[in-house]
Structure 1
Amino acid sequence: MTPEHFQHLIADVTAAIEGRTLDAGLADFLNQRFPADGPEFRAIADACVAAVKAGWMCDREHGGIRFGRVIKPCPELAGFSVDVVEMADVAGPHHVHPQGEIDMIMPLDGDAKFDGHGAGWFVYGPGSAHCPTVSGGRAHVLYLLPQGAIEFTRA
């Protein structure tokens, strides 16, 4: 697994969602078009596992969370950035999504849930905020951020 190959996998997703509003309807679309038990979702999830093992993904750690920006916003991904975290039964730092956030939730063990959601896609709309939390096990969570926009706060 290389960063270039990973970007190619993500480009299929961003091409399908380019120009769409970040809302619950987008989450429904993603869960239908790229279901958690489908080949595209599985390919991305497997790529994350391989990339973490290779050491170029989730290459930083703080407070029990492994994380890293994998791809900066770029035209090839419709202006989205890609971040991936690995979390297990922990809450991350509070932040705001000025333009929204698209989450791909990939449980690794247990009954891992991200902010109460199991395997699949969840979308936070523009201006939303949260302390990202994984409970019930360990998971990778991939974040697509329009223009890479995120603001860490002191909730």
Structure 2
Amino acid sequence: MKVAIGGDHAGYEYKKEIISILQDAGHEVQDFGPDSTDSVDYPDHVHPLAESVEKGTQDLGILICGSGNGVAMTANKHQGIRAALCWQNDLAALARQHNDANIIALPARFVSLDDTKQMVLTFVSTDFEGGRHQNRVDKISC
């Protein structure tokens, strides 16, 4: 699977670890930055990542910032994106199963690295259930 990853300076340390576990699991990872803990404007990294998922260049996306809110709000400006803010593993699974989320937004300042890794692995390995959920997902875009 092709996975895009990015965020802001608050998520940088987690991002490095997540890239490693994704590659170890056999996924191809494209890093959209940032490249350090220096302060950045997250939209500069989120918009290119969201565009790559929206166009199908990447299968799924992972965004990490301090709260997860800013990156989720920015990604969700793209019509083809369904970015889900998750802070526990069950939410990551449900975001894929019921909402066909194609980007997970993670709050690095509020969840442990171990929990973050688990959510990422769950997110990339969980399929959309379709069925009764498909009609709802079809109504999300404006």
Pair in the same fold by TM > 0.5:
no
Which bracket does the TM-score occupy, shorter chain normalised? 0.3 to 0.5
Q: TM-score, normalised by structure 1?
A: 0.35
| Greater strand content | 1
Q: TM-score, normalised by structure 2?
A: 0.37
